[in-house]
Chain A
Amino acid sequence: DAGVIQSPRHEVTEMGQEVTLRCKPISGHNSLFWYRQTMMRGLELLIYFNNNVPIDDSGMPEDRFSAKMPNASFSTLKIQPSEPRDSAVYFCASSFEGGHQPQHFGDGTRLSIL
């Protein structure tokens, strides 16, 4: 049983470049979450999809961030243009029907913007 798969595991790029993070949720899960984790702020929710539809994107920092879920097995988080303050570990998680269910996390993408 494959877990949540994220790619790439590490990304180092220069300021101003476009960054695309990818996530494959667990098959059968209909809720998908993107988080950002930093030492200063901990684990912050960026956006939540249910049945491929964005339900809550209030955590998306600004217009430079966008997320899509074109189908039940794939989601992307894009940052354009990237800035050094975007450096963090980005996690994707999936679960059954959002509420009261454990979330299953991928191992994250460690993003460094130089």
Chain B
Amino acid sequence: SQKIEQNSEALNIQEGKTATLTCNYTNYSPAYLQWYRQDPGRGPVFLLLIRENEKEKRKERLKVTFDTTLKQSLFHITASQPADSATYLCALEGGGSYIPTFGRGTSLIVHP
């Protein structure tokens, strides 16, 4: 069955460092992959979308990579700040469906 895996353990890093979050998938051929941020008590907020033929995408301090061979996406936040602390979810879309399937998210905690 299709599976999306994000690390369930929180990632703790120091302010100023680069945070790297992982999204792995199996039995899936996604054409698109999205990353969202979710703060406590709020709905997810869209951050970036990357297509299967794109290796990398950047937006300000954010960078996303998409490796269809490894079946993995990496989400990087450079020069992290305490305000970046949140849960980050990946969502995959493909296989003829227009509806993305979400991972369960990884919590990021940036310590001052």
A42-B105, A43-B44, A105-B45 known; A33 vs B99 contact (CB < 8 Å): yes
> Which residues of chain B are near A104, meaning CB under 8 Å?
46
**Quick one: which of A61-114 are within 8 Å of B by CB?**
91, 93, 98-100, 102-108
Residue with the highest number of chain A CB atoms closer than 10 Å, among B42, B43, B101: B43
Interface residues contributed by chain A, number (CB under 8 Å): 20
Smallest Cβ-Cβ distance to A9: which chain B residue: B41
**Count the B residues whose beta carbon is within 8 Å of the partner chain — how many?**
20
| Central interface residue in B45, B46, B100, B105, by most chain A CB within 10 Å | B100
- Measured between alpha carbons, how far is A106 from B89 in the docked complex, in Å? 16
Contact of A42 among B41, B46, B104 (CB under 8 A): B104
B23-48 to A contact mask, C-beta < 8 Å, 1/0: 00000000110100000011111100
Binding site for B on A (CB under 8 A): 4, 33, 35, 42-43, 45, 48, 56, 91, 93, 98-100, 102-108
